[in-house]
Amino acid sequence: MFTAFLIKYAEIGIKGKNRYLFEDALVSQISHALKKCEGKFLVRKTQGRIFVDAQTEFDFDEVVEHLKLVFGISGICPVVYVEDEGFEKLCETVVDYMKEVYPDPNKTFKVQARRARKNYPKDSMEINMDMGEAILNAIPEMKVDVHNPDITLNIEVREMIYIYSEIIPGPGGMPVGTGGKAMLLLSGGIDSPVAGYMISKRGVKIDAVYFHAPPYTSERAKQKVVDLAKIVSKYTGPIRLHVINFTDIQLYIHEKCPHEELTIIMRRYMMRIAEHLAKESDCQGLITGESIGQVASQTMASLISTNEVCELPVYRPLIAFDKQDIVDISEKIGTYETSILPFEDCCTIFVAKHPVTKPNVNIIRRHEHNLDEKIDELVKIALETDEIIIAE
Ligand code: ATP
Ligand code: MG
């Protein structure tokens, strides 16, 4: 029955002079998402609204599933377009619509008409009244409730007449690309994919980096990260994933530094390398999945040490989240099942039995000094052997 969708967007509406930029980005993200669906679609912007018109047959559920992934959409309204063939004919069509969409008639409704084409013979109030009456006559079980109806039946009179009443919730947020770009430190864990999803939801495009330590971390651990990037890319669009071979850096830190400081020093090198890659590709920040107190390297004291090695802002959207709340989001976005696969990432390989929980930055810096120029050489090699995978 439905041939189109009206796309509702929330926050974009308040962006003043830049509003068109957000709308254009949303149109382009929607077009991109629909490329994966069977059928042809026209995505168009008119008078502060976005419509998706199906130009061929399409699978309703498939299209809705894909639209639900597009950040910036707050609601998806399936629409029926009809030609204007007089008010009586319109009443018949609307009654059929109500019967089909609401097989259980024990509902309250109100008609909300909008006469965008001013030469239509009835004004909005008249349409509301007369259409309401036609529905009540045809479906006596339905009742009118103008204050808190179960169904708000929208009738918009334009060149064609648009009928819609259902709002399927979208993901909210901002269209990707309107908020710049950031580099996500993506491990195989539960947290970092969620962190990437959350920042991207605010309109930020995502690049990612994974630190791989073969043979200590397996090929399957790497594949798991690629798979996670692919799942996240359903929301964010294609992700350029850097795979950095971290083995020699890690072994060298292991050799030269006190073992209880290993994780912190290793994390400092991850941040340095991530920042280097970020600056190279015009990213304006780093993203991690850290949360206060979750592990020794994520206490406030430890975060001072990992934070101080980079200039770019580090976005930690999960900083105040409990683990269960993070798990809930990862289940919702579809990364959880992959995240809990048992392949170790390199953070878990060389961990000390008793890592420091209150590292002193000055002491960490002093111990890092033991690493001399050789570490710079190793970082250089790691950057030169960067493998780039496009996850989509
Ligand atoms: P996650 O579930 O995201 O792996 P975690 O609880 O295991 O997080 P850590 O291992 O301390 O926490 O890592 C903290 C953050 O550092 C991660 O959220 C991620 O952003 C980044 N990180 C850790 N290991 C790697 C890695 N091997 N490659 C890329 N980023 C990493
Ligand atoms: Mg981890």
pLDDT interval class at 380 (50, 70, 90): very high
CB 186 within 8 A of CB 226: no
pLDDT interval class at 47 (50, 70, 90): confident
CA contacts within 13 A on the Cβ side of 297: 21
Of the candidates 346, 382, 208, which has an alpha carbon nearest to the alpha carbon of residue 286? 208
Superfamily the domain 181-391 falls into:
HUPs (3.40.50.620)
Check if 290 has its Cβ closer than 6 Å to any atom of ligand 1: yes
Per-residue pLDDT tens for 313-328?
Answer: 999 999 999 999 999 9
Name the DSSP class of 343: P
Q: Residue 79: pLDDT above 70?
A: yes
Give the ligand with the smallest distance to the CA of 193.
1
Check if 191 has its Cβ closer than 6 Å to any atom of ligand 1: yes
- Per the prediction, the chain carries an average pLDDT of 94
Of the candidates 79, 73, 75, which has an alpha carbon nearest to the alpha carbon of residue 54? 79
Q: Residue 362: pLDDT above 80?
A: yes
Check if 277 has its Cβ closer than 6 Å to any atom of ligand 1: no
pLDDT at 372: 87
Of the candidates 276, 202, 196, which has an alpha carbon nearest to the alpha carbon of residue 239? 196
Assigned fold of 4-169: VC0802-like (3.30.2130)
- Kindly give the distance from the C-alpha atom of residue 363 to the centroid of ligand 2, in angstroms, as a whole number: 25
* Percent of the chain scoring above 70 in pLDDT: 97
Per-domain residue ranges of the chain: 4-169, 181-391
pLDDT at 333: 97
pLDDT at 347: 54
Per-residue pLDDT tens for 161-176?
Answer: 999 999 999 999 999 9
Residue closest via CA to ligand 1's atom 11 equals: 297
Average pLDDT over residues 277-293: 97
Average pLDDT over residues 290-310: 91
Ion ligand 2: residues, CB within 5 A, are 187, 189, 347
Pairing label, strands 168-169, 75-82? antiparallel
Best mutation site among 191, 217, 329, 341 for ligand 1 pocket (most ligand atoms within 8 Å of CB): 191
Q: One fold for both 4-169 and 181-391?
A: no
